[in-house]
C-alpha cells in the first residue's frame, strides 16, 4: 500500500497536468492545476510519511521558481 501512495504522490501532479492540457489544449491553463496538485502532493507526502518526497519537493520548488520569473519575461 505504501508504494501505491508514493507512486500517486510522485506521478499524480504530472497526470493532472496532462489531463488538463488534453482537455483545454492550452499550456498556460494547465500550469495552475499542476502547481496546485504539486502543493497538495507535498503536503500529502509530509502527512503520510512525515517527510517530503524528493521528487515532489523538487517539482514544487521548480514550479515556484519559474512562476516567479515568468512575469519578467
- List pLDDT tens digits, range 24-42: 888 888 889 999 998 898 8
Provide the residue ranges of all domains of the chain, joining segments of one domain with +.
2-72
Distance CA 52, CA 19 (A): 25
Grid coordinates representing 14?
504530472
Residues 9, 44 contacting (CB under 8 angstroms): yes
Grid coordinates representing 39?
502543493
Distance CA 52, CA 43 (A): 8
Average pLDDT over every residue of 13-29: 91
Residues 33, 12 contacting (CB under 8 angstroms): no
Grid coordinates representing 65?
521558481
Amino acid at each position: 500500500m505504501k508504494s501505491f501512495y508514493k507512486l500517486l504522490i510522485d506521478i499524480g501532479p504530472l497526470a493532472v497536468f496532462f489531463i488538463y492540457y488534453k482537455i483545454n489544449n492550452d499550456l498556460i491553463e494547465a500550469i495552475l492545476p499542476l502547481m496546485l496538485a504539486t502543493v497538495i502532493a507535498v503536503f500529502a507526502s509530509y502527512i503520510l510519511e512525515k517527510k517530503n518526497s524528493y521528487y515532489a519537493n523538487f517539482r514544487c520548488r521548480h514550479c515556484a521558481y519559474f512562476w516567479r520569473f515568468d512575469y519578467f519575461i
